[in-house]
Amino acid sequence: MTAPLPFRNADLPLAERIEDLLARLSLAEKIGQLMHDNPAVPRLGLPAYNWWNEGCHGVGRNGRATVFPQAIALGATFDRELVRRIADTIATEARAKHHAAARAQDGATQQYQGLTFWAPNINLYRDPRWGRGQETFGEDPVLTGELGAAFVQGLQGDHPHYLKTAACAKHLAVHSGPESQRHGFNARVSDRDLRESYLPHFERLVRAGVEAVMGAYNRTNGEPCCASANLQRILREEWGFTGHFVSDCGAVDDFHRGHQVTPGPVESAALALHHGCDLNCGCTYHDLAEALRRQLVTEAEIDRSLRRLLRTKFRLGLFDPPERVPGATTPLAVVNSAAHRTVARRAAVNSIVLLKNNGLLPLASSVRNLMVVGPGAASVDALLGNYFGLNPQLVTLVEGLTARAPEGCRVGYSPGCLPDDASTPPSPAAIYECSCADVTIAVLGTLPVYEGEEGDAFASRAAGDRPAIELSESQRLFLAKLRANQKPVVLILTGGGAIACPEAHEWCDAILHVWYPGCEGGHAVAEVLFGDAEPGGRLPVTVPRATVDLPPFEDYAMAGRTYRFATKPPLYPFGYGLGYTTWALADLLCQPAAVGSAEPIEASVLIRNTGTRLGRTVIQFYVSPPPGGGGPDVKLVDFATLELAPGTVTRVAGRLPAATWSVHGEDGRPRHTPGDWQIIAAFAAPVDRARELGVPAPLRKHVDVT
């Protein structure tokens, strides 16, 4: 028997294996490996491999999978461990599906069958009009960084040599709409906003070991993000990133077609490669051969990028015997298994945000006639969001409620109104049926056809974005007629972001935001409505009162945006959410803090469940700098989820890193700032509106930072 080629020898050092394979590839073969759809190299036994796979809330676009709640709903859980477990479950299903596909195709994989996931999307949800905000974890860099790092850890696993799958932090940087302009848009942002808001969560994921980073379509301060010397310097020199960098799909072509920073594809390919873009999602890198002939790039630059890509392939075990690779024998039976659906249901329950409750919920056992209405009530789309997989058991909200309602309780259903057509009046029959019901469950809000990535939504919409964040006029009119019945109404909002509905807050007896809750969404909503489970979510975004309260969409300055910089009172604040029990805080403690110290300090607070039910809550630790210190007036620094039985008390600690006591200057550099800081323990962002909504008062402690 002949010995295997050195790159096939799993006992050799990784660097040695990479160099051996690199030396065996021709220049044309090397260029082929720099594009997302890698051709096979039969003479070396290398099968075709497609790098493009999606998995922001389940294995996406590849048939059967467990569909978890959309990413923004995962943000609403504020739960690192749950998010890590979800990502680990996604990776388990991905391994099963990948190896089954490879066995059936002589080792080759097609698009969406690989082990390289272009997830998570950790862009800051700076403006609720952005249609892709649903793919993110919310508007706060600390929440986004912590949940994003947990997602990476779940996808990639903890094996010392092998990745379970490869995660990708996207999209670097300053990317959050408008979708219709992304291929030519120049996002202008100050050094302070860049460092204070748009980059911290990317650094968190890099330091957590994320394998890949994806560049955004737009330019940032004049440089295309997929060919930015400044972003590459930050990424590799400041943060020590050693993984590979991939372009968003078609972004390199945008250099000459949209941004017009190069005259054509040859120059675009050269610019991207020269500035650190290792993998081209697209086909522009075909022109690297011509760029090399014209001496616009060197073979050394091609080799540099290919080494990074081969490192990922080796770490995924793509060149090793299956018996050496953890997960290579994962059976397809794990996909959509009962255990995985249990995780999906728990995630959905813990993401549901109770925005209002006048005592109607949980529904009393005396309820004998429920009417379920609204465009989202029987909609599969209302479960899925975008970047979704499919599932043979998608439980809609009306199905979940019908399954859970006790025998003897009549459940009726009607769509009631069109989602966005005020010229067609609401159904008189539906309104009459609701007038006869004990309680109406109205499922309104946003559906994926009205928000998403460019091209996802109907052509009549703003290429995926929402021009206005209010409840549509047709749905508002329908809700007004339901209110006129003088019967109790529970409003269930679906959608991937903030929905401004101040009238609904006045009209309805209870309001829940359920996002796009995934394959178990109907069961989860029913559990919460009937009191089998606590609504566990907290808002990962601020809900404004109206679109007019927002700064211009195209302005990337953070002034006036998110809870950290808002100047107008919200309808619902960041971090807010009610439950079925009550809570109290006491005895906030904090260690002394010293400027210049590299060590984190700890703050802690006593939390008591003062109600009569088991409860789940999220304790949030904020800080506020000295007056005139600059930066946001208040910022989240840590958070923790907990469950407590009625009458019990526990002490919960928050970690305050050394950077807590820093304020960014106009040059973007953090400056340790002595003075009178405040540490705040709260159940929502510490704004006046939270108190108006019944949130217990936050506790504040002054800390003299020296």
Per-residue pLDDT at 3: 79
Residue 590's H or E segment, with its range, is strand 583-590
Q: What is the DSSP letter of 396?
A: -
For residue 576 the two structure tokens come to: 């807010």
Per-residue pLDDT at 243: 98
Per-residue pLDDT at 208: 98
- Quick one: average pLDDT of 533-537? 97
pLDDT grade for 300, boundaries at 50, 70 and 90: very high
Packed helices 80-104 and 338-351: angle between N→C axes, nearest 10 degrees = 140
Contact criterion met (CB below 8 Å) for 267 and 299: no
- Quick one: average pLDDT of 390-404? 98
pLDDT grade for 10, boundaries at 50, 70 and 90: very high
Q: Which of 424, 441, 254 is nearest to 363 (CA)?
A: 441
- Superfamily (CATH) of domain 17-46+164-312: Glycoside hydrolase, family 3, N-terminal domain (3.20.20.300)
Q: What percent of the chain has pLDDT over 90?
A: 95
Contact criterion met (CB below 8 Å) for 413 and 398: yes
- Cβ count within 10 A of residue 418: 17
- Range with lowest mean pLDDT among 263-272, 461-470, 508-517: 461-470
Contact criterion met (CB below 8 Å) for 668 and 548: no
Rounded to 10 degrees, the C-alpha dihedral 566/572/577/578 comes to 140
- Cα angle, residue 436 at apex, residues 433 and 442 outer, rounded to 5°: 55
Q: According to CATH, where is 3.40.50.1700 located in the chain? A: 348-549
- Superfamily (CATH) of domain 348-549: Glycoside hydrolase family 3 C-terminal domain (3.40.50.1700)
pTM for the full model? Answer: 0.98
Per-residue pLDDT at 455: 80
**Which residues are CB-neighbours of 303 under 8 A, at least 6 positions away?**
22, 30
Q: Rounded CA gap, 427 and 424, in Å?
A: 9
Q: According to CATH, where is 3.20.20.300 located in the chain? A: 17-46+164-312
pLDDT grade for 595, boundaries at 50, 70 and 90: low
pLDDT grade for 1, boundaries at 50, 70 and 90: low
Per-residue pLDDT at 457: 66
Using DSSP, how many helices (H) and how many strands (E) does the chain show?
21, 23
For residue 355 the two structure tokens come to: 């925005």
pLDDT grade for 350, boundaries at 50, 70 and 90: very high
Q: Kindly list the distances between the CA atom of residue 423 and the CA atoms of 417, 420, 474, in Å, as whole numbers in the listed order.
A: 11, 9, 8
> Domain 583-705 belongs to what topology?
Immunoglobulin-like (2.60.40)
Active site residue 248: yes
Whether pLDDT at 2 is above 90: no
Contact criterion met (CB below 8 Å) for 323 and 256: no
- 556 burial class (0-12, 13-18, 19+ CB within 10 angstroms)? buried
Contact criterion met (CB below 8 Å) for 420 and 462: no
Residue 362: asked if its preceding bond is cis (omega within 30°), the reply is yes
Pairing relation of β-strands 489-494 and 510-515?
parallel
DSSP assignment string, 125-164: ---TT-GGGGGS--S-HHHHHHHHHHHHHHHH---SS--S
pLDDT tens, position by position, 677-692: 999 999 999 999 999 9
Q: Rounded CA gap, 493 and 352, in Å?
A: 10
pLDDT grade for 630, boundaries at 50, 70 and 90: confident
Q: Kindly list the distances between the CA atom of residue 484 and the CA atoms of 348, 422, 507, 510, 589, in Å, as whole numbers in the listed order.
A: 32, 18, 9, 16, 50
pLDDT tens, position by position, 187-232: 999 999 999 999 999 999 999 999 999 999 999 999 999 999 999 9
| 223-224 β-sheet, strand order | 186-187, 219-220, 223-224
Q: Kindly list the distances between the CA atom of residue 672 and the CA atoms of 134, 443, 630, 662, 706, in Å, as whole numbers in the listed order.
A: 34, 48, 12, 4, 10
Whether pLDDT at 554 is above 70: yes
pLDDT tens, position by position, 422-468: 999 999 999 999 999 999 999 999 999 999 999 886 645 668 999 99
Per-residue pLDDT at 628: 83
For residue 35 the two structure tokens come to: 């594009």
DSSP assignment string, 470-502: BPPHHHHHHHHHHHHTTS-EEEEEESSS--B-H
Q: Rounded CA gap, 453 and 248, in Å?
A: 13
Mean pLDDT of the chain: 97
Rounded to 10 degrees, the C-alpha dihedral 15/21/27/33 comes to -80
Give the up-direction half-sphere exposure of residue 273: CA atoms within 13 A in the CB hemisphere.
29
- Quick one: average pLDDT of 577-604? 90
One of 248, 253, 278, 287 is an active-site residue; which one? 248
For residue 619 the two structure tokens come to: 């304790």
Contact criterion met (CB below 8 Å) for 434 and 369: no
**Which residues are CB-neighbours of 34 under 8 A, at least 6 positions away?**
273, 278, 279, 280, 285, 288, 302, 305, 306, 309
* Amino acid, res. 104: A
Per-residue pLDDT at 336: 98
Q: Rounded CA gap, 235 and 277, in Å?
A: 12
- 198 burial class (0-12, 13-18, 19+ CB within 10 angstroms)? buried
Distance of CA 676 to the CA centre of its chain: 35
SS3 state at 655: strand
pLDDT tens, position by position, 487-506: 999 999 999 999 999 999 99
In 29-175, at which residue ranges do the beta strands (DSSP E only) sit? 37-38, 49-50, 168-172
- Quick one: average pLDDT of 548-560? 98
- Higher local confidence (pLDDT), 445 or 672: 445
Q: According to CATH, where is 2.60.40.10 located in the chain? A: 583-705
pLDDT grade for 340, boundaries at 50, 70 and 90: very high
Per-residue pLDDT at 591: 85
